[in-house]
Amino acid sequence: MAYLDHAATTPMLPEAVRELTTQLAHTGNASSLHSAGRRARRTVEEARERLAAALGARPSEIVFTGGGTEADNLAVKGLYWSRRAADPRRRVVLASPVEHHAVLDAVHWLADHEGAEIEWLPVDEVGRVHPEALREAAERGPERIALATVMWANNEIGTIMPVLELAEVAAEFGFPLHSDAVQAIGQTEVDFDGSGLASMAVTGHKIGGPYGVGALVLGREHTPEPLLHGGGQERDVRSGTLDVPAAAAFAVAAELAAERRRDFAAQVGALRDELIAAVLAAVPDAVLGGDPNPAGRLPANAHFAFPGCEGDSLLLLLDAQGIQASTGSACTAGVAQPSHVVLATGADPELARGTLRFSLGHTSTAEDVAALAAAVGPAVERARSAGLS
């Protein structure tokens, strides 16, 4: 099996597995005052410190959540509610059209249920939001803006956004900027303190940690309205009993991702370049998605559109050969829909239906790339033949 879907989830690191299993043997609610509770609280606070150090944040800025989706929803909805409550004119949400659905659907929900006005920030042909686009939107009336949200790096096509420059514009006009940094951690430099962001979403299972745990990195000056009400944990913005073992394992994975980032980027980036060359050699008319400049895309990402193919069909043909990848398209009622990310870059809808993402990780090998190189050409031929029949 050649697993080429690390952007969806990557195998847990052995160090994170050991931390998780060690902590699972202990009992204690981190909110309890007895000795077992205090031990659990100490574990959580140590994890908070380690995670903060890995992300360039202060421990008080780490709000543990159940994953990246919850972190994005808490930031987008919570900041909108709190900003609108302070000034009813603040109803505009500025968002890029290439966001992950965790952000995209939260923004749409605010428009459908909370009276939000969405203004989409244009992207260029590689899916990048430029600071000038954010400035132009801000100049139309900063007093109207509740928040802006632009991901750090795109999950489908791998394009890295100019987050620091975007945050400078947001600060100049006085509104918060949130960023989904789920894909960026461990692949490109992420420093929350130096970014100028108001908030940032991260998750464990993309970097070798466990499923079901993430964090919203939240500047101390921001107090979003909570999604969950209860015991008032996590700065009273995310109630709920903390998953102590998961938080500890997440912190270990984040720490190792930060320590190994440069080596990971160099080694996996070289393997990614081999993969791109192999696919283009096998299918010369394949179209590389995202920024063609390696410096402008995630080192583990290779995204292609295959003319004349349905992405789902090609995915299943490769899967039958033991090669696991993903398609950016959504399937509704059995009908494949083109990727919203690829469409936002101006691509033809037919081309956008035939996309696949190959993503590498810490267990990827040259043998994985060789297996794809041998299988992708015949798979594309079969997919095209099926489309013509």
How far is residue 306's CA from residue 298's CA, in Å, rounded to a whole number? 21
Q: What are the CA-CA distances from residue 161 to residues 6, 102, 112, 177, 293 (Å)?
A: 20, 18, 28, 13, 13
Calpha distance 73→114 (Å, rounded): 14
- Tokens 């490769």 found at: 318
To which CATH superfamily is domain 2-8+261-388 assigned? Aspartate Aminotransferase, domain 1 (3.90.1150.10)
Mean pLDDT of 159-168: 98
> In the annotation, is 331 catalytic?
yes
pLDDT reading at 44 higher than 70 = yes
Over the stretch 113-162, which tens digit does the pLDDT of each residue have? 999 999 999 999 999 999 999 999 999 999 999 999 999 999 999 999 99
Beta bridge partners of 337: 330
- Round to whole Å and give the CA distance between 90 and 100: 24
Instruction: Report the pLDDT value the prediction gives residue 336, as an integer from 0 to 100.
Output: 64
Task: Please determine, for residue 36, whether its predicted confidence score (pLDDT) is greater than 90.
Answer: yes
Length of the chain equals: 389
Please give the DSSP secondary-structure letter assigned to residue 66. Answer: S
pLDDT tens-place string over residues 338-389: 899 999 999 999 999 999 999 999 999 999 999 999 999 999 999 998 866 5
Q: Which residues pair with 356 in a beta bridge?
A: 304
Domain covering 14-256 assigned CATH 3.40.640.10 in the classification:
yes
Phi, psi of 253 (to 5 degrees): -60, -40
Q: What is the pLDDT of residue 333?
A: 39
Active-site entry in 331, 363, 365, 386: 331
Residue ranges of domains in the chain:
2-8+261-388, 14-256
- Tell me, what's the pLDDT at 340? 93
Please list the alpha-helical segments (H only) found in the chain.
14-24, 35-55, 68-86, 101-113, 131-139, 163-173, 192-195, 244-282, 311-320, 340-344, 349-352, 366-388
Retrieve residue 111's tokens: 């428009």
**Which pLDDT score is estimated for 260?**
98
Residue 329 confidence (pLDDT) above 80 = no
User: Could you give the CA distance from residue 219 to residue 84 in angstroms, rounded to a whole number?
Assistant: 18
Mean pLDDT of 94-106: 97
Q: List CB contacts of 116: < 8 A, sequence separation 6 or more.
A: 80, 91, 92, 93, 107, 110, 146
